[in-house]
Amino acid sequence: MSSDMSTAYQEVVISGRKQEILEEAIGIIASEGYGKLTMRALARASGMKLGALQYHFRTWEDMLRALAAHIANAYRHSFETFTSGSDSLGLRELLQFILDDEPGSALHADSLFPQLWAMARVEPVMASLLDDIYLEYLDELEKHLANEGSKTPRADALVLMSLLEGTTLFVGNDCRWADDAKSVRDAALTFIDSHYGTQD
């Protein structure tokens, strides 16, 4: 997700203590499920009273917005580091970055994102925020596909995004087919190579 994209979702600076609280929120969602995340549960996990938590996040919606910003910032910073020093990034390299999902390890992404998707079904705020995050993702894929000569870059981008996000559900950590994750990664890259003629 490149820094030069203009979307509705802009980077938000989050203070150190807020980041610690949001890490606790991620831990609750990833380990116990989104249904266990409440302001009281978050205050307890953060070692503070509810009133102290509300000093940092006045409302539930404020906390959700900050949580989405925290997650988006992690991926944005990782992408900027990945692309630093490179004049151009090919489609294959972008797909490798997405599949390897380095920031996802710290965020427990394999457990976190399925819960966020479920949460978005009942929390309009989270649904809107995830839409903004995925819009960056989609725009970056579409731009690279257009550069590779795709005649339908938006449709192709949606296909690839669906494919890549599906790996979380089927070959993510603790999933039934987790042992096949490397084979799936290689197969996805082979598909890109054969379809768009990219090379190592």
Residue 1's pLDDT is 39
**How do residues 24-44 score in pLDDT, each as one tens digit?**
999 999 999 999 999 999 999
Average of per-residue pLDDT across 163-190: 88
Residue 193's pLDDT is 84
DSSP string, 87-136: S---HHHHHHHHHH-HHHHHHTHHHHHHHHHHHHTT-HHHHHHHHHHHHH
Structural domains of the chain in order of their starting residue, each with its CATH number: 16-196 (1.10.357.10)
Average of per-residue pLDDT across 57-75: 90
Percent of the chain with pLDDT over 70: 88
**How do residues 111-152 score in pLDDT, each as one tens digit?**
888 999 999 999 888 898 888 888 988 998 999 899 888 999
Among 99, 109, 106, 120, CA closest to 163: 99
Residue 197: phi and psi, rounded to 5, are 70, 20
